[in-house]
Amino acid sequence: MVININKKAQTWSVDVVLGLLIFVGAFFIFYAVLNQNPNTKVKNLKEEASTVIKQVSSDSSQLRIVDGNEINLSRAGELKNLSYVELKNMLRIEGDFCVYIEDENGNVILINNSYRAIGSPDINVTGVPCSQK
């Protein structure tokens, strides 16, 4: 009988150690996720914003809507015809985005006199979803 009790005690202790390892591992993962530096998130957002700006203004990009200092509205209209997922894949970014045009007073300018912006419907521009007309 004593031998059986020891075997059960050893099995139980292995289970406790395994459970403890899983708990500690989960704790460290949870801590790492919650303890991310907010500056890192801001840096990532700035990098993605820079990527979008480069894509829509680069001469070699198929997503270019800027010619010199002017917006090419027909090209912007072509981008509006793409689905958001297609456009996001072409831009090669992870986060959501919204491209809109403002005048010197900060007023949003309608593109092709019909829609405010191109991008995620989850983002609002002056209270209106980005992809809504």
User: Would you say the pTM of this structure is higher than 0.85?
Assistant: no
d(C-alpha 19, C-alpha 57), whole Å: 54
The pLDDT tens digits of the residues spanning 18-52 come to 777 787 778 777 777 677 666 777 788 888 888 88
d(C-alpha 52, C-alpha 21), whole Å: 43
Considering Cα of 100, then 70, then 84, then 33, what sign does the dihedral take? negative
DSSP state of 81: T
CB 124, CB 130: distance < 8 Å: yes
The pLDDT tens digits of the residues spanning 45-78 come to 888 888 888 888 888 888 888 877 777 877 877 8
